[in-house]
Amino acid sequence: EPCARRMGPNMCAGGMKEENCVQKGAIGPYPYAVGMLQVLSYGVAAWMVQQDAFLDFEQRATAATRPPMMTQGEDMVIGMFLYLSPWPLMPLHWGWDKLHDLCFKCTRKDQIWRPITVQTVVAHHIANEQIITEVFRNITHGSHFDPRPCDDACQQKLLPFEVTSLEDLCSRAGGSIRKVYSKCALVPK
């Protein structure tokens, strides 16, 4: 059962206190791989699926074919396994200007708070044909948010990550992340 579903170690640490997660047996805090895009190396994925806890999770998740069933949370599970791994791993993050969640419950018919631009890497939860068309148009022809179309050069451009490594994450927020995120102990000060 998820507890203190938050993005990033500091927000998760606060949520864990607020929701008494440790008393409920929760682990963490840990940053998790946001569900919009999850890419694992072969070695990490192979390690993950060999864990007894993964097999248990997979069996419970696939057995649930009628409500209540898991309709979200795979991103948290992947984040949890990265947290439990023996390596100094963490999800890299391109930044919220490149990742877009268009509608969480897919009841909205408009684009949400982060406009699609030529820097968009992922557009998640596209609810209908109108939104698909608008996403495509904004990227290929530009929009009032970013009037430049994404031409061949734009499509080949390497976009920088906002969080580049575990070392980078642990050095942020004035060192407070290092205090709450146990993986930071694997990074020299």
| Range with the largest mean pLDDT of 80-84, 104-108, 141-145 | 80-84
pLDDT of residue 50: 92
Tell me: the pLDDT tens digits for 162-171? 888 889 988 9
- With H, G, I as helix, E, B as strand and everything else as coil, classify residue 143: coil
The model's confidence at residue 66, banded by pLDDT at 50, 70 and 90, is: low
* C-alpha–C-alpha distance, residues 152 and 163, integer Å: 26
Cβ–Cβ under 8 Å, residues 27 and 80: yes
Distance set, CA 15 to CA 9, 106, 140 (Å):
10, 26, 40
pLDDT of residue 127: 67
The model's confidence at residue 46, banded by pLDDT at 50, 70 and 90, is: very high
Mean pLDDT to the nearest integer, 21-33 = 77
Q: Is the pLDDT of residue 177 over 80?
A: yes
Please tell me which residue, 106 or 74, carries the higher pLDDT value: 74
**Predicted model pTM:** 0.66
Cβ–Cβ under 8 Å, residues 76 and 32: yes
Please tell me which residue, 92 or 179, carries the higher pLDDT value: 179
The model's confidence at residue 138, banded by pLDDT at 50, 70 and 90, is: confident
Residue-averaged pLDDT of the chain: 78
Please tell me which residue, 121 or 32, carries the higher pLDDT value: 121
Phi, psi (rounded to 5 degrees) for 143: -150, 180
Q: Is the pLDDT of residue 25 over 70?
A: yes
Q: Is the pLDDT of residue 105 over 90?
A: no
